[in-house]
Amino acid sequence: MDIKDFREVMKSTLFDEVGETIITDQQKKLPQPPLEKGYHEDEKLISLISPDNFTCGNISLIDALKNRKSRRVFSEKQLTLEELSFLLWSTQGVKRATKNATFRTVPSGGARHPFETYLAIFNVEGLESGLYRYLALEHKLVKLHVPSNLKEHLLEACYDQNFVVSSAVTFIWTAIPYRTEWRYNVASARIMLMDVGHVCENLYLASESINAGTCAVGAYEQNKIDELIGVDGEDEFTIYLAPVGKY
């Protein structure tokens, strides 16, 4: 393939490779996939602070924008559970849900919201170090199996960019592409890549508002990071990371 062939993914199209108009799975009346990845009933859920009770995040938008930059050096200061709750809500928080869609703090093409948020937690008040997943609909965390040597494996999967493990928490976003493909078929990759940019930018601004910083991470080894968080790499795979820490 020529490098220019890869540009096609960025272009808007409703046609398949032989020029036929695409009929989406939604138009075929196939069932819509779930809005969120499920969890097992016996898994322990951890309550987060409700957005109604947030006391943090009060700096002005103009100050957050002025201060925003990619930060790769973090202090030893802990994030509080409220601050973590605020960051999760700022990036994927559900403000309203219907049977078929969620409406969140970030926009998403067709309100498909194809992402799940995994967290490698290292220094957050009241939470053991380990791997967690955010349940956006419930605004709760589910604790996942803790892989041995989490830091070592995460560092290796991110080409030794040390700030992914010197953080208080590292966000790892996965895509479940069928959520968007069900409606947008071949246009989905383009839409999901636009969607995830909104998520990470909200993390930048929300982090600045709690005297913390983040840095978008697009350089990682796909197989290693997918294996570490336990996703299949096909129907769900890592799409972006961002470590957060206090400065």
Q: Which residues bind ligand FMN (CB under 6 A)?
A: 69-70, 161, 215-219
Task: Determine the residue with CB nearest ligand FMN.
Answer: 218
Tokens for 94, please give them: 């559900």
Q: Which is nearer to ligand FMN, 173 or 182 (CB)?
A: 173
Write down the least CB distance from residue 74 to ligand FMN, Å: 13
How many Å apart are CA 243 and CA 200, to the nearest integer?
Answer: 11
Write down the least CB distance from residue 173 to ligand FMN, Å: 12
- At 160, the amino acid letter reads D
Write down the least CB distance from residue 118 to ligand FMN, Å: 17
Rg (CA), the chain: 18
Q: Which is nearer to ligand FMN, 66 or 69 (CB)?
A: 69
- At 101, the amino acid letter reads A
Q: Which is nearer to ligand FMN, 177 or 243 (CB)?
A: 243
How many Å apart are CA 81 and CA 84, to the nearest integer?
Answer: 5
Q: What is the DSSP string of 29-74?
A: TPPPPPSS----TTSPEEE---GGG-----S-HHHHHHH--B----
Q: Which is nearer to ligand FMN, 15 or 159 (CB)?
A: 159
User: What is the number of other CB atoms lying within 10 angstroms of the CB of residue 229?
Assistant: 23
Write down the least CB distance from residue 199 to ligand FMN, Å: 12
